[in-house]
Structure 1
Amino acid sequence: MSFVNSVSPFAEKLGTNYVPPEQEIKAIRDLLADPTEELARIEAEIDEMDAVIVQLKAKHASLKTAIDAHRALISPMRHTPEDVLREIFVACLPTTHNALIDPSEAPILLGGICRHWRAVAHSTPMLWSSMHIPIIPISDEDPAFGGTVEVASKLEKLVEQWLKRSATCPLDVSVSGVYRIDSDRHPIHQLLNVSRRLRHLVLEGEVAALLPLLRLGPDSLPLLREYPRLLPFPSLAEVSLSILSADPLSLPLKWSQLTRLTLDCFPLWTQNGHYEGGLGGIGALEVLRKCPNLLRCELRLTKSPSEVDTGLASNTSLITLPHMDILILRGIFHLPNWIPHLVVPKLRCLTVGEVSTTSPTPSLPYMRAEIDTSRFTASSLLELLESFPMISHLRVFADVYSPDTILVDDAFLENFYPPHNLCPALTHFTAGGGGAEFSDAAALSFVRAQMAMPTPLQQFEVQFPPRSMQIDIMPELQSFSSSGLQASIKYCTSEWKFNPREALYTLTG
C-alpha cells in the first residue's frame, strides 16, 4: 500500500509523540516498503539527470569561451584608434581629487587589462599628471612604526615611476599627514626634482616636515600660481594652511595680495606638557588686518577660550575688508561681544561654528548667516544680527550638550517684531540642534509677524529638542502656504530604548 496518492492509516499519529505497539511497527514497515523502493528509483533518476546537467554546463562553458574569444577579435575597443583610447583613459581619472596610487583605480588599473592597454597608458603623460601620496609615517628607530620603512620604499619606487611617466606635464600633487620624516626615503623628497612642473600642490602636516619644499623660492616653482593649498610662497593669491605647531603670521606670505585664505593651525602637545602653536583670537584679527583684498576667509581658532575671548573683545582697531564675500569662523572660541570694528560691506555668507553647508551664496543685497548660538552671549548675538540687516537666510543652532544658557527663546523671537524689526530682509528661518527653546505660541506669533512684513517669510523650519507639542500650530502655518510659506516643525523624542548590547565588551583569551 502506498500513501503517496492516498491517506496513511497512521495520518492522525504523524507529528505526535505516539509510541506504536509491536503489531503497528510491523504494519508501518510493510507500508514503507513500496514507497522506499520508489524513492530509491527517483533518486537514481535525479543522479542521472545531474550528470547530464554537468556535461551540458561543461559544454556550454567551453562553447561560450570559444565564442567570447572570437568576439574579442572583432571588439570595437580592440580596433579603437590609439588617440581615442588615450582620451577614454584620461576620462577615467577622478574629477574631485588627484589620482590615487591604487591598483583598483585609474590610471594603474588601466595598465592591468592587457599588454596593449598597458603600453598606451604608460605612454600617456596626461594620465600621470596628478597624484595623491597617502600617509606614510617613517621612522628607522621607533618600533611603533615597524614595517613602514619597507612600505615607504615600495611607495618611493611607485612615485618615481609615476613622475617619469608624466614626462613634462604640469603636475597636481597632494600629500597628506606629513607629521615627521626621519628618512630621506619619503616620497615628498622626490617632488623637489619636479618642482618646476608643480601646478597645484596640497600639503598637510607639520611645517618642520615640509621644510624641503618650503625652502624653495619662486624661481623653482614657476607654475605654482593659482589655487595652491598650503605652500606659503610670496607669489600666491590663494592659500589653505593645515599645519601643526606653527604661527601662520610667521610664514613668508604677501598677505595683502591674498584673495582666498583657509587657516587650520592646530597646536601641538609638547614633551613639556604644553600646547604650542595654533591660532587664537588675537592672531585671527591680525590675519584679517593683513589681508584687505580677501574674498573668502575660513579661520579655525584652536587656542584656549580665554585667550580667544580676550583677543576678540579687546583689540578694537578697524579691520576693513571691502571685497570679502564669505567669512567662516570655526573652532574654540566664545564671543562676549561681536566685532564692531569689522567692516565687511559685501559679506554674503557668515558662518560661526561647526557648520557644513552646500547652500549657494545669496546674491546682492541678501545674505546667509549660520550661527552657533553657544559661541555668544544674548547681547552679542543681537549685536551680530543688528550689524547685518541684509540677512535673508538665518539658521541658528547650538550643541545639544552645550552647558550655555539657551539664547533662542521667546524673548529672542520678539526682537524680530516691530518696533525692533531685527533682520528686516529675512525670508528663511531655521532653528534646531539644541538651539530652539521657544514655545509653539511664540513660533506662531513670529510667523504671523513675518508674513505681515513687506518681505514675507518663505521658509520656516524648526527642530525642537526633546519635548512634547504644546499646541498644534501647523494648520495655521499651512494656511500661509498660499502666500509662499513652506513650514516644517519636528519634535525630537527622548524616549529611552532598551539595548541588550549596551556597553558590551568582547571576552577574549
Structure 2
Amino acid sequence: MLAPAAMHLVDSPFADRLATNYVPSDSDILKIRALLVEPEEELARLDARIDELEATLFELREKRASLKTLIDAHRALTAPIRRIPHDVLLEIFFSCLPSTHNALIDAAESPMLLGRICSTWRYVAYATPRIWSSLHIPSPSYSPFIPPHIESALHRVVAAWLERSGTCPLSISHSEGIDHWDEPFLSQILKVAHRLQHIDLSGTVESLIPFLRLGPQDLPLLQSIRINVPSETTYNLTDRMDALQVPTLHQISLDLSLDPLLLPLRWEQLTGLNLACRPVWTDDGLVGGLTSAGILAVLSRCSNLEQCRLRATARDLDLPSEPSSITLPSLHTFILEDNFLPECVLRLVLPKLRHFQIGDFSTFFAMTEFGPGSPGDTELRADIDPEGYSQEDLVQLLRHFSRISHLRLSSRRMYTYGLVLVDEEFLAAFYSTPDTLCPMLTHIAFNTPYTPPSDAAALAFVSGRMSAGLPLQHFGADFGRPMEMDIAPHLHHFIEGGLRLSLNYVSPRIWELDPQAGLSDTLAWI
C-alpha cells in the first residue's frame, strides 16, 4: 500500500508518459519536481523508520545469540556422549578409522582427530593400541624442499605412532619417489617387521632389498604384501625375495620388471594375486613379463585363489597345444588387463566367479549404473573392453561365460580402432533362439564407442530380449550422439513391469556464427 503522500502520484498527469522515451519540456520538468516533493519527504521518513527498526532488530538478535550461547553450553553438559561407556566409545572410534586405506598422519582425520576433542577421548584413544595399528607414512620426496625440521618432526610422529600401537599387528604403507628413499623411515619399518601383517612399499630396488631379504622368522605375521618398483629393472631380484616365502602370506601384489614364474612364492597358499610384471631387455633378448602361456602357468599353481588381477605384458608365439582346462574352484573376482582376447581365458573353469573384468583398463571401476551391492550367488558381473577383438572373439568370450547376468561393454577411450562392431547381427544373438547369447543376462550397459548403431536397433534389442527367456531388468546406453527417436514410449509396458532404462544422448549442436572467427589480434602488420 502506498504512503498517503504518494497516492496522488497514481493520478499523475505524466502517468501515460512513464517508462517511455518521452522528452519533457522545461515546464514539464518543473511540474515533475514539484510533484515529487512530498513523496520524497515521505520516502526519507520511511528510510529513517527502517533504520530504527533494523537497529532494534540487531540488538534483539545480539541478546538472543548471547542467551543461546549460554543455553547451548549448559545443554552440552547433558549430552549422552559424555556418559557413553568406554567400550561403546571404542566401537565408535574403530568405526571412524579409514576402511579403504591405512590411517593418515592428519590432525583432521582419525585417529589423530580423536585425541583433539577432549582429555577423556584423548586418554581412551592413546591407551588403545588397536586404533594405531595402521599407518601410511607420507613421502617427503613428493614435497620438494621440505625443511629438515619438518622431516625430523615426521620421524618423531611415526615413532610415537608405532609406540602407541603396542604389540598389535601392523598395516603400513610407504611410497618414495624413484630418486629418493628415506632410510630412517625404512629403518623404523624394519624395527617393527615382526609385527607387520600388511605391508605396501614403493621405491627403488636398492631401497627394497633390506625388506625383501627378511625371512619367515623376521615376518611371522605377514599376510599381504604389495611391492612396486615403477621403472627400474628388477629381473635379477628374484633370488633376494625371501619375504615372499613367508608361510602366512596369502595376498601378493607386485608391479616389477621380471619373470613372475621365477618368483619364490608359495603359490598354492595364495588367495589374492595381483601381477603387473613387465618384460626387460637382457643380453639374451627380451625376457620376463607375463604372456598368455604365463597366465596359464601362474593360475595352474594357484588352486586356492579367490581374487586375481593380471596384466598381460608380453605376447605368445603359440599357446601349449593341449587345450587342457584349469579349474579355480574358489575364484570370485578375476581382472585381466590386455588389449587382445587371450585364448588362455577360454581354458579357465571358474564355478564361483562373481566379478569378471577384461580389457585395457587403467583402473578397476565398479559397475555403478547397475546399483550398489555385492552380486548374489547366481550373479556374474562382467565388464569388458573389447578393443582389438573381432566380433567372433567377443561372442566366443560371452558364450564361454554363459552365466553373465550383468554385462557392460565399455572403453576408457571415446574412440576406438578395434574390430568389434555392435551391429544388428551382434545384438540379435542375444535374443535369437535356440542358442541365445548370455541366457542369464538381466542387466546390460553399452558405453561409447560400443553402442547400438541406432535407436531403432536398441529398441529391437530390448523388445527381443524381453520376449526371449529371462527378461531384462536394466538397459543402459551412453550413445555419444543426439537422440534419433524416443524408445521409452514403445517400452512402456515393460517399464511398468520393472524395466529400468538409462539412456544418455548428446544434445544436438546448434551452429552459431562467431563474429570474431579469423580476427587478428592486432590491426598492425608487424
Aligned partners of 2:71, 2:478: CA distance in 1, in Å?
65
Aligned partners of 1:415, 1:14: CA distance in 2, in Å?
73
- Are 2:266 and 1:254 aligned? yes
Contact preservation (8 Å) 2:220, 2:248? no
Match for residue 337 of structure 2 among 331, 339, 345: 331
Query: For residue 168 of structure 1, what is the aligned residue in structure 2?
Result: 167
C-alpha displacement at 1:212, in angstroms? Answer: 3.5
C-alpha displacement at 1:128, in angstroms? Answer: 1.7
Aligned partners of 2:330, 2:115: CA distance in 1, in Å?
47
- Partner of 1:293, secondary structure, is coil
Aligned partners of 2:280, 2:65: CA distance in 1, in Å?
62
Contact preservation (8 Å) 1:172, 1:201? yes
Aligned partners of 2:19, 2:507: CA distance in 1, in Å?
49
Over 3 Å counting, the alpha-carbon distance change for 1:438 and 1:32 in structure 2 is closer
C-alpha displacement at 1:299, in angstroms? Answer: 0.9
Aligned partners of 2:226, 2:499: CA distance in 1, in Å?
40
Q: Residue type matched to 2:106 in 1?
A: D
> Which digits, 9 at most, give the CA deviation of each residue in 1:234-287, with x for residues without a partner?
324532425354544444321222122122446899xxxx99976444543332
- Partner of 1:253, secondary structure, is coil
Q: TM-score, normalised by structure 2?
A: 0.73
Query: For residue 8 of structure 2, what is the aligned residue in structure 1?
Result: 6
Contact preservation (8 Å) 1:294, 1:321? no
Aligned partners of 1:71, 1:174: CA distance in 2, in Å?
43
Q: Residue type matched to 2:326 in 1?
A: T
> Which digits, 9 at most, give the CA deviation of each residue in 1:174-195, with x for residues without a partner?
335664533324x344222222
Aligned partners of 1:47, 1:471: CA distance in 2, in Å?
60
Q: Larger deviation: 276-285 or 206-215?
A: 276-285
Query: For residue 224 of structure 1, what is the aligned residue in structure 2?
Result: 222
Query: For residue 191 of structure 2, what is the aligned residue in structure 1?
Result: 193
Q: Larger deviation: 79-88 or 251-260?
A: 79-88
C-alpha displacement at 1:438, in angstroms? Answer: 6.2
Match for residue 356 of structure 1 among 365, 377, 400: 365
- Partner of 1:111, secondary structure, is helix
Match for residue 432 of structure 1 among 434, 439, 446: 446
C-alpha displacement at 1:403, in angstroms? Answer: 0.9
Contact preservation (8 Å) 2:408, 2:444? yes
Q: TM-score, normalised by structure 1?
A: 0.75
Over 3 Å counting, the alpha-carbon distance change for 1:457 and 1:21 in structure 2 is closer
Q: Unpaired runs of 5+ in structure 1?
A: 139-143, 501-506
- Partner of 1:374, secondary structure, is coil
Query: For residue 503 of structure 1, what is the aligned residue in structure 2?
Result: none
Over 3 Å counting, the alpha-carbon distance change for 1:275 and 1:27 in structure 2 is farther
Aligned partners of 1:102, 1:472: CA distance in 2, in Å?
51
Over 3 Å counting, the alpha-carbon distance change for 1:37 and 1:194 in structure 2 is same
**Aligned pairs for 1:116-265 within 5 A:** 116-137=120-141, 145-147=144-146, 151-176=150-175, 179-185=178-184, 187-204=185-202, 208-225=206-223, 227-230=224-227, 232-265=244-277
Q: Larger deviation: 127-136 or 421-430?
A: 421-430
Query: For residue 284 of structure 1, what is the aligned residue in structure 2?
Result: 295
Q: Residue type matched to 1:238 in 2?
A: H
Q: Unpaired runs of 5+ in structure 2?
A: 228-242, 368-372, 515-520, 522-526
Match for residue 327 of structure 2 among 287, 308, 321: 321
- Partner of 1:384, secondary structure, is helix
- Are 2:69 and 1:56 aligned? no
Over 3 Å counting, the alpha-carbon distance change for 1:316 and 1:239 in structure 2 is farther
> Which digits, 9 at most, give the CA deviation of each residue in 1:447-493, with x for residues without a partner?
658845xx5444573637467889998778666789x8847585845
Aligned partners of 2:486, 2:62: CA distance in 1, in Å?
70
- Partner of 2:94, secondary structure, is helix
Aligned residue-pair number: 479
Aligned partners of 2:21, 2:481: CA distance in 1, in Å?
57
Query: For residue 296 of structure 1, what is the aligned residue in structure 2?
Result: 307
> Which digits, 9 at most, give the CA deviation of each residue in 1:397-447, with x for residues without a partner?
555511122344344456567787255743436352233456756974896
Contact preservation (8 Å) 1:407, 1:435? yes
Over 3 Å counting, the alpha-carbon distance change for 1:81 and 1:488 in structure 2 is closer
Aligned partners of 2:462, 2:440: CA distance in 1, in Å?
12
**Aligned pairs for 1:462-481 within 5 A:** 463=477, 465=479
> Which digits, 9 at most, give the CA deviation of each residue in 1:336-363, with x for residues without a partner?
x623772425253443223634574563
Aligned partners of 2:221, 2:346: CA distance in 1, in Å?
38
> Which digits, 9 at most, give the CA deviation of each residue in 1:181-217, with x for residues without a partner?
33324x3442222222222333455555433432222
Q: Larger deviation: 348-357 or 162-171?
A: 348-357
> Which digits, 9 at most, give the CA deviation of each residue in 1:219-248, with x for residues without a partner?
2222223x5555744324532425354544
> Which digits, 9 at most, give the CA deviation of each residue in 1:130-153, with x for residues without a partner?
223344426xxxxx9333766544
Contact preservation (8 Å) 2:444, 2:475? yes
